[in-house]
Amino acid sequence: MSLPILASTVLVPVIAAVISLILNKKVGGKTLTIVNTLSLLYSAIVLTLLYLMYGSYQDPVYFKDPVLGSFSMLLDPLSAAIAISIAIVTAAVSVYSLRYMSHRFEELGIEKEWGMYYFLYTLFSVSMIGTVLSVNLIEFYLFLELTLIPSFLLIAFYGYGDRHRISFMYLIWTHIGALTLLMGVLIAGYYSQSFDIAMVKEAAIPKWLRIPTLLLFTIGLLIKLASFGVHIWLPYAHAEAPTPVSALLSPNLIGIAGYFMARIYLSSFTGSFKYIAPALQLLAILTMMYGGFMALTQKDYKRLLAYSSISQMGYLLLGIAAFNPLSISGAILHYMTHALGKAILFMTAGMIMYVLHGLRDITKMGGLGAKMPITMAAALLGFMHITGIPPTMGIWSEIYIVAGAVKSFLNEAVLIQGALSLIFAIGLTTAYSFVTIKRIFYGELREELMEAHDPPPSMYLPALILGVIGLLVFLYPSILLQPLTQQVQAILP
């Protein structure tokens, strides 16, 4: 009989979060940083070992109800890259938070609320892990809503600009997405007589209701994904969140919607999906292009990275919409690519803000490479990940997505138009990435930036570690891709 090991990857960080809240102002930030980082590192290590040892692992059922179904947790090739990415990134950003949030507390002129910060931070982190490991639609929805509450409060308490208005915008938009998703969940669960994902089948839903149900799932998840047309909330929320939270929102949270699209389409809607796939492919390329164009025009570094995340979600959506083993495997790997690369980039934005008194305007930068060589190296590594330049893992996720997309286009009359659009969208990613590197780190150093220097090691080492992990996956991509492709091929031969 299996043991509830996956449950411990959620419970251990929750205990650390509660301890942080109880202690709050009784201990310093260093102690709470260690406690919460170790709890998230525990999750990362356990998830990685379970995947390497077993490939797939499911906990025993925690709760069973005739109506709601069974609640448990599952780690398999489809969820492994996502859950492990979240655990690794949240542990790294937890270390980064110590210096950055100490500086942010001073900027806000408030007492250093380390207990409250880490309580919200770790709850946010662990709720994302729980979402990915869920095997039941209601369980998934509950964890998804749990991600919303602490992330909303983190923006409202510690964000920038008009943080209260922006946090409510984030809350409303993402809650609308969740409620739309919930309507689809209730319909699918009602007719399938179970909310277990493996038991939900489109054949149980009346024919006239199958496409509407699929659209409810899709629209709700597209809002969470921030695809073109329903992306309005993302540039505000991700740019104005405190930078450690931005490093979780952009690379981790929004991509979960893409993962769940793959999970629910493969499990429950393989027949009906073909009717909406062409529209989703078009939307994916529009999202890639729009995010790329907008990133090119931004002066604010964090806002540029936020629009870049929209573009990157286009890649993820394209891989899922092409709906074949190559493209879906590429999309799941691209989640990890983006998680590592974009977390690094948001960290570098925070490093510049930390050293240069909140500077975010790219037009006021230039020449910083001479004064901040480690920060520059981290930024270069982050952009290499999202543009797919060897030796980063991004090359593999892009190859798989593009190969899968072209395979899909081959069955259509739009091969040339689709391929050209895809090439152009990928070119935009390369353009805004290296134009940004040039504008920030090359050129003549302004006199007012002479005081610039690399931040303390506790800020740049977590970013470099994430970069090294990306390099290791580049060397051994088959560890993730081979089992993942086999799993999808079993469903979509």
Residue 236, pLDDT score: 92
Residue 408, pLDDT score: 82
Mean pLDDT (the chain) is: 93
Residues 158-169: tens digit of each pLDDT: 999 899 999 999
The strand pairing partners of 73, in sequence order, are 134
Residue 412 pLDDT exceeds 90 = no
Name the pTM for this structure.
0.95
Above pLDDT 70, what percent of the chain? 98
Above pLDDT 90, what percent of the chain? 85
C-alpha dihedral sign at 256, 262, 268, 269: positive
Residues 212-266: tens digit of each pLDDT: 999 999 999 999 999 999 999 999 998 999 999 999 988 788 999 999 999 999 9
Residue 204 pLDDT exceeds 80 = yes
Residue 416, pLDDT score: 75
Residue 436 pLDDT exceeds 60 = yes
Residue 314, pLDDT score: 94
Residue 321, pLDDT score: 94
pLDDT confidence band for 310 (50 / 70 / 90): very high
Mean pLDDT score, 386-398: 92
Residues 112-148: tens digit of each pLDDT: 889 999 999 999 999 999 999 999 999 999 999 999 9
Residue 53, pLDDT score: 95
Residue 337, pLDDT score: 95
Residue 413 pLDDT exceeds 70 = no
Residue 417 pLDDT exceeds 80 = no
Residues 446-489: tens digit of each pLDDT: 888 999 999 999 999 999 999 999 999 999 999 999 999 999 99
Residue spans of the domains in the chain: they are 272-493
State how far the Cα of 394 lies from the Cα of 318, in Å rounded to an integer: 15
